[in-house]
Structure 1
Amino acid sequence: MAAPLGPVPPGPDRDDPADHTRLEADASALTLVLAKATASVYPKVPAAQLRALQFIGDHEPVNLTRLTEELGTIPSSASRICDRLQASGLLDRRPATTDRREVELLLTSDGRSLLHRLKEARREGLAHILDAMPAPARTALLHGLSEFAAIATPTPQPHPHRDTA
């Protein structure tokens, strides 16, 4: 069982723009660490393609419509991303098992390997930084990230037409 978090240092004031600016800068530092790890693993895959790979890897098989919605783009742009990933040997397309008019997107073994290496590089980069932090700072960070995740992660809402009885 995890140890209690203990007292948490005072947090930023929600109404203080300076605190928001500092938090945005801190988030930028985390983004930089993750981007550096990403570039070291596979520097030839642009961020949009990595995002597509990660979504497909987490939800495969995925159809192009679902990927388009996730990327917030238009179908032709999502299709071009898939073309490039397929040409790189990271993605495969096949007729859907439920509807042969539809195409499913799946990772190849190289695509899975890339995502695994990326996850490990990110984990190592973060571990290096966390190891250098004093224990109270890590505890405060954990508490803050837990609160952030609780607010940022939407809770599933019941479907309005489903019978709950």
Structure 2
Amino acid sequence: MTSSHRRGPRTADVSSAVESAAEVLTALWDRTQQTSKTRVSPSQMQALAIVERHGQINLNGLAAELDAIPSSASRLCDRLQAAGLLTRAASVHNRREVMLALTRDGRALLAEIGRNRHQALARILADMSPAGREALFTGLSEFNEAVTLADADESWERHA
């Protein structure tokens, strides 16, 4: 490790600051999600985001990404389908496989929540100094890179 990585705040202090920021962001995410006309639970929101990221995903894939058993994921999808946010269809490759996709309303909900979050963050960031925003941008960029590297070698599991 280079000496430039050793200077600065203690790792424990930065870790505490990241935890605090994560709590604030979680509260902000929940608050912006609740401003929507269509209310969904955090687990439903997570499922919608996973389906959006994949375009289409089978039920077992969704369950794996949610770290849930397929029957629980299926019940979650039942509620999303009943709300008109998700569709299910048999796979063209394997009729026993159920494929999930967002409906137009599901995509619109995610877009609305994304806009709400962006606006809320923009208001907060506008209150920061330009130097503070630059430091935050640089720090978050490095943090994301470190997480990506940790995910690549799965070393984070050994340190958790």
Same-fold call, TM cutoff 0.5: yes
Worse overlay, 146-155 or 49-58: 146-155
**Aligned-residue CA RMSD (Å):** 1.7
Q: Which residue of 2 aligns with 1:93?
A: 88
Between 41-50 and 144-153, the greater mean CA deviation after superposition: 41-50
d(CA) in 1 for partners of 2:124 and 2:14?
A: 22
Structure 2 residue ranges without an equivalent (≥5): 1-6, 154-160
Give the structure 2 partner of residue 55 of structure 1.
50
Whether the 8 Å CA contact 2:86–2:102 is kept in 1: the answer is yes
Partner of 1:145: 140
In the alignment, which residue of structure 2 is the partner of 1:13?
A: 10
Higher RCO (CA-CA < 8 Å; seq separation 6+): 1
Aligned to 2:128: 133
C-alpha deviation, 1:20, in angstroms = 2.6
Mapped contact 1:34–1:125 kept (Cα < 8 A): no
Which runs of 4 or more aligned residues in structure 1 lie more than 4 Å from their structure 2 counterparts after TM superposition?
A: 154-157
Q: CA deviation at 1:44?
A: 2.2
In structure 1, the gaps of 5 or more residues are 1-9, 158-165
From 59, 66, 69, the equivalent of 2:64 is 69
Partner of 1:6: none
CA contact (8 A) 1:12 1:19 kept: yes
Q: Which has the larger helix fraction?
A: 2
SS of the aligned residue for 1:124 comes to helix
1:82-119 C-alpha deviation (Å, 9 max, x unpaired): 00000001010011111112111011110010011011
How far is 1:30 from its partner?
2.0
Q: Is the 8 A contact 2:86 2:106 kept in 1?
A: yes
Q: Deviations over 1:144-164 (max 9, x none)?
A: 10011001124658xxxxxxx
Sequence identity of aligned pairs in percent? 41
Please give the alpha-carbon distance, in whole angstroms, between the structure 2 residues aligned to 1:79 and 1:62. Answer: 13
* Structure 2 residue 34 is the aligned partner of structure 1 residue 39: yes
| Partner-residue secondary structure (3-state), 1:153 | helix
- Partner of residue 116 from structure 1, selected from 101, 104, 111: 111
Amino acid at match of 1:128: R
Report the Cα distance in structure 2 between the residues aligned to 1:130 and 1:111, rounded to whole angstroms: 28
Partner Cα separation in structure 1 for residue 125 and residue 43 of structure 2: 28
1:11 Cα shift?
4.2
TM-score (norm 2): 0.84
TM-superposed deviation, 1:25:
1.2
